[in-house]
Amino acid sequence: EAGVAQSPRYKIIEKRQSVAFWCNPISGHATLYWYQQILGQGPKLLIQFQNNGVVDDSQLPKDRFSAERLKGVDSTLKIQPAKLEDSAVYLCASSLGGGTLGNTIYFGEGSWLTVV
Amino acid sequence: GENVEQHPSTLSVQEGDSAVIKCTYSDSASNYFPWYKQELGKGPQLIIDIRSNVGEKKDQRIAVTLNKTAKHFSLHITETQPEDSAVYFCAASIAKLSFGAGTTVTVRA
């Protein structure tokens, strides 16, 4: 079974530029997550989709971050304009259902962003 | 929101010895406690989890214990091997996962 696919794996941009990350979840998984992982910290949830609807975006900095999940499958996360503190690994994850109890969350390998 | 603290931040053990990582959580309503292993350049991978109605769970060399009264849970790895070297994260969940800061485990050959 194919895992969660993410691209690009690595990106270096200058501050104030924009960047977009793409994610393809495990086939059949209704729930998709974007996490931000700053070096030396645990992942932090940015946004959670259930099919193509947003369940939780309470920690998404909406002035610069946006995400969409068209047709309930693939998703893109965009940052515009980027700040130095956005340097992190952006992890996409998916699970079969919503909620965490009884739903294993599978992570992709991440997209490493460096803002200079 | 939920706050998860994890200790120690680094752990070095001799191959064959045991490793123990401890986490505490703040919200007594949390009901699901997974542990993830993250190798360099990869995403976190679930290695074991426990629900709030269970006190202990074991899977081969890995075990997790939960003390709901004290709001803490622990990961135990026995007979450590070099391939156990990685960063380990605990998490607690009501509706979404809140992660600890991670423990870097190094197994010395």
Contact A43 B89 (CB under 8 A): yes
pLDDT digits over A1-30, tens only? 689 999 999 999 999 999 999 999 999 999
Q: Kindly tell me if the per-residue pLDDT of B2 is higher than 90.
A: no
> What pLDDT was estimated at residue A103?
78
Shortest distance, CA B102 to any CA of chain A (angstroms): 6
Is a pLDDT exceeding 70 seen at residue A49? yes
pLDDT for A1 equals 65
pLDDT at B53 (0 to 100): 84
Q: What mean pLDDT, rounded, does chain A reach?
A: 94
- Per DSSP bridges, beta strands A53-56 and A111-115 are unpaired
Closest alpha carbon within chain B to A110: B43
Question: Coil, strand or helix: which one is A72?
Answer: helix
pLDDT confidence tier of residue B1, bands split at 50, 70 and 90 = confident
Task: Give contacts of A107 with chain B, Cβ < 8 Å.
Answer: 36, 43-45
Dist CA A21 CA A67 (whole Å)? 9
* Interface residue B89 vs chain A (CB under 8 A): yes
* CA distance linking residue B69 with residue B72, whole number of Å: 8
Question: Residue B15 corresponds to which tokens in the numbers above?
Answer: 């191959």
Helix (H) or strand (E) run with residue A94 in it: strand A88-95
Residue A102 neighbours by CB under 8 Å, 6+ apart: none
Q: Give me the percent of chain A exceeding a pLDDT of 70.
A: 96
- Cross-chain residue pair A101–B93, CB shorter than 8 Å: yes
The vertex-B1 CA angle with B101 and A83, nearest 5°, equals 60
pLDDT digits (tens, 9 = 90+) for B6-65: 999 999 999 999 999 999 999 999 999 999 999 998 999 999 999 888 899 999 999 999
Contact residues, chain B, for A110 at CB < 8 Å: 42-43
Chain B residues closer than 8 Å to A104 by CB = 46, 49
